[in-house]
Amino acid sequence: MRKYINDNWYYKDDFKNSYLKEVKLDSFTKVRIPHTVKELDYNYINSEDYQKIVSYYTEIDLKMYSNNYVYLVFEGSAHVSYVYLNGKLALTHYNGYTGFKVLLNDFKDSDDKVKVLVKVDSFESNNVPPFGKVIDYLTYGGIYRDTYLDIKNENFITDCFINATMDKTLTLNLKYFTDYQKNHVHITLNDLDVILPCKETLTFSDLNVELWDIDNPILYDLKIELLKDNEIIDVFEEKVGFRSIKSDYNGIYLNDKQVKIRGLNRHQSYPIVGYAMPKRPQILDAHILKEELGLNSVRTSHYPQSHDFISECDKLGLLVFMEIPGWQHIGDKSWQEVAINNVKEMILQYRNHPSIYMWGVRINESIDNHDFYKETNKIAKELDKTRLIGGVRCFKNSELLEDVYTYNDFVHNGTNKGVESRRKVTKSNYKAYLVTEYNGHMYPTKMFDDELHRSEHLKRHYKVLNDINYYDDIAGGYGWCMADYNTHKDFGSGDEICYHGVLDMYRNPKIASYAYSSQQDEYPVLALNSSMDIGEHAGGYIKNIMVMTNLDYIKLYRGETFIKDFYPSNKYPYLKHSPIMIDDLIGDNLKNNEPYSPKISQKIKKSLLEIQQYGLENMPLKTKLRMLNLIVFHGLTLATGFELYEKYIGAWGEDSKEYLIEGYKNNEKVKVIRLQSYKRLHFNYRYDTLNLIEDKSYDVASFRVEALNQADNHLNYFNEAIRIETSGCVSLIGPSIVSFKGGFAGFYIKSNGIGKGDVKIYYQDKLVKEFKMCVTKGEVQC
Ligand code: GAL
């Protein structure tokens, strides 16, 4: 039985030896887990602020569990945790990204009580991964994942490794706390229902099950009841997906079908609270990756992430590449011992998640180290033969002990190839080759960068995606990265943010995100890389207008006037949905409306479009000659040329700017963009729930806010602030003034009790929105 104790902790911002004897609760603060040792600003962060040694305290009464074994389980505490039970050091855990547990029974006092004091050290000077040199992400501190009691009887299942394969065979490798000869297990899964004497290995074949797949991630409930004389003494429950993974030279196979990996790297951090987010925001990230961005995989860079996140990947069919903590640096022997132990902990704790297809057993981007990596590989294969092994490097021809050569390829600089051919990176001619990062620091992009910059960001993602698809012998790739993240001073833009995401820190979409979402076919995507404002562009030459879409074609109108149908370009021919290029704002209109012959109209049009593309100053010679020809032989004047340019391309001096883009799929209009100049402001709110549920702990709803004009056009440079007021059973995480950044904002609302709550949004002192929220216990709707 599992009993969450997230709500029972007291916290103090220091640690003293005297706390081992006595904790005066009035000097501690009551906190709820997930907890961070320091709430931070959105940016401009001093990373020393969260590096400290702190204390968490709770008391556990074992009286009602006198016949039980009781474990205290921590799913994540950053970074070195010393667990003292009734004043004695019971356990030290040297890693902030995997769980650990301690048996309480041996430590109880004469009243059956255990006083638990956890000293948590979040100094980045600890000699454990990922520390030792610089790190491109903040590492935060505190007990930031669930804590619970695992209450057991005289005998119980201590471990069950589930291997459920595509041939519909289920193998259970079981370990028991004590001698199991007299016990039985009652096993159910779908229509399997058997009672058998306990064994360490149980195999069931020809099961009546469907396979777990990316598109059809069927999970079955496995229940194992441990029986003693027909009485249930322990229950083990897990979701099971039947699937098999393998790889060869060409790539990665799920159930013998090749999967081209299309993914992004994810950091588990959030603004203000860092790592300390409960289940719901973790789940939301999985949905964003799979459903909003249409990806089939995620790399949990650079450490194991919350089970809540991974369980949602299981549920959604999002393949996971999980790796041990670390960033470039390999430390001394004792540091390496911790890393080796991290491999063990990661695999033992996460190997029942069907979505995980590969373990990363190297320190991200570290140099070769034969002995160290021979050991991590050996342990990984010992603990799990059912998955692939990788290990991310950033240099070519490194020693390949793993199954897959996993490589961060940052070759693309905007003008060259998207990726290296695999031959240039590894000599291996039978193992798979996978790109595990691209773009990122090669082109940081802020939501509030100008249009050209944001478009370049988009193009770079398109280009790499395209070139990865071009190569049949590249297994796929993970872009860097899902969302912007707070980082150390050595990285980022000087404000402790790495603007490398295709989403911002609140998970709002930059235009580069459409390179991904437009590749899926579950929902229609129609987006534009431009606001069509000539003033946003140098010299007023608006160009390279791109429609990111998965539709068949678009119809473009200016005002009431039809311009032209446009079809997907062949700019990125290896993509399923190459974007549409709007390279003609004139269509047949000049020919139809102006007093020129079709041939002359065509010449004028061509010249105007070339001026738009190159600018007057950089006109190619052929354009100049054609213009000269029009002036000398056909009576066109420069003044008329300008007029026509303004009329058909610049749309200068018209009552208002208005473009209409209609998107068609199977000749049906499925989506429309109406681009208008600004008249009125409003905000659009996206949130995952208004009904928070207190279950394991407090709950958090994520709000994403967008500033739009009257036609729902995004306001790229809206940077004003809103004020958020909460009352009742909900509260805001972080400061009440929230500023927009490039037209987007975000905030998190957390529960603080059961009942109703109110969230009010003020803009320029006026109430503009009110959310009636409620907090319930369990799955009851408000
Ligand atoms: C890589 C590194 C990532 C991130 C990225 C930025 O070298 O593995 O963690 O720093 O660069 O592009």
SS (H, E, C) 673-729: EEEECCCCEEEEEEECCCEEEECCCCCEEEEEEEEEECCCCECCCCCCEEEEEEEEC
Q: Could you give the CA distance from residue 735 to residue 743 in angstroms, rounded to a whole number?
A: 19
- Band of residue 665 on the pLDDT scale cut at 50, 70, 90: very high
Residue 652 has pLDDT above 80, yes or no: no
pLDDT at 687: 98
Atom 3 (ligand 1) nearest CA: 136
Please give the distance, rounded to the nearest whole angstrom, from the Cα atom of residue 136 to the centre of ligand 1: 7
The residue-averaged pLDDT of 71-82 equals 98
Count CA within 13 A, CB hemisphere, residue 752: 15
DSSP 31: E
- Band of residue 739 on the pLDDT scale cut at 50, 70, 90: very high
pLDDT at 692: 97
For residue 439, the ligand 1 atom closest to its alpha carbon is 12
**Residue 172 exposed, middle or buried by CB count within 10 Å (0-12, 13-18, 19+):** buried
Cα 182 versus chain centre, distance: 47
Distance from the first to the final alpha carbon of the chain: 28
- Band of residue 656 on the pLDDT scale cut at 50, 70, 90: low
Please give the distance, rounded to the nearest whole angstrom, from the Cα atom of residue 704 to the centre of ligand 1: 26
pLDDT at 391: 97
The residue-averaged pLDDT of 644-667 equals 87
Q: Which of 400-414, 450-464, 636-650 has the lowest mean pLDDT?
A: 636-650
Please give the distance, rounded to the nearest whole angstrom, from the Cα atom of residue 440 to the centre of ligand 1: 7
Closest CA to 160 of 147, 149, 169, 171: 171
Q: Are 354 and 212 in contact (CB under 8 A)?
A: yes
For residue 410, the ligand 1 atom closest to its alpha carbon is 12
Q: Ligand 1 — pocket residues by CB below 6 A?
A: 136, 301, 364-365, 394, 408, 437, 440-441, 480, 500
Q: What percent of the chain has pLDDT over 90?
A: 95
pLDDT digits (tens, 9 = 90+) for 90-106: 999 999 999 999 999 99
Q: Name, in order, each residue with C-beta under 8 angstroms of 331's C-beta and a sequence gap of 6 or more.
A: 127, 128, 129, 131, 132, 339
Phi-psi region of 650 (alpha: psi -120 to 50; beta: other; left: phi over 0): alpha
User: Which residue out of 303, 441, 500 has the highest number of ligand 1 atoms within 8 Å of its CB and is therefore the one to mutate?
Assistant: 441
Residue 467 has pLDDT above 80, yes or no: yes
- Based on its alpha-carbon atoms, the radius of gyration of the chain, rounded to whole angstroms, reads 29
Catalytic residues: 365, 437
Summary mean pLDDT of the chain: 96
pLDDT at 401: 97
Higher pLDDT, 163 or 653: 163
Residue 762 has pLDDT above 80, yes or no: yes
The residue-averaged pLDDT of 148-165 equals 97
pLDDT at 651: 74
What are 181's two structure tokens? 């000869």
Closest CA to 147 of 310, 316, 276: 276
The residue-averaged pLDDT of 584-591 equals 95
For residue 365, the ligand 1 atom closest to its alpha carbon is 8
Higher pLDDT, 772 or 533: 772
pLDDT at 506: 98
For residue 301, the ligand 1 atom closest to its alpha carbon is 9
pLDDT at 534: 87
For residue 440, the ligand 1 atom closest to its alpha carbon is 12
pLDDT at 376: 98
Please give the distance, rounded to the nearest whole angstrom, from the Cα atom of residue 598 to the centre of ligand 1: 55
Please give the distance, rounded to the nearest whole angstrom, from the Cα atom of residue 363 to the centre of ligand 1: 12
Atom 9 (ligand 1) nearest CA: 136
Please give the distance, rounded to the nearest whole angstrom, from the Cα atom of residue 494 to the centre of ligand 1: 16
Residue 279 has pLDDT above 80, yes or no: yes
Atom 4 (ligand 1) nearest CA: 136
Q: Phi then psi for 25, rounded to 5 degrees?
A: -60, -30
Residue 780 has pLDDT above 70, yes or no: no
Q: What percent of the chain has pLDDT over 70?
A: 99
User: Which residue out of 480, 486, 499, 502 has the highest number of ligand 1 atoms within 8 Å of its CB and is therefore the one to mutate?
Assistant: 480
pLDDT at 659: 94
Q: Which of 157-161, 371-375, 611-615 has the lowest mean pLDDT?
A: 611-615
Neighbouring CB atoms inside 10 A of 616's CB total: 13
pLDDT at 616: 86
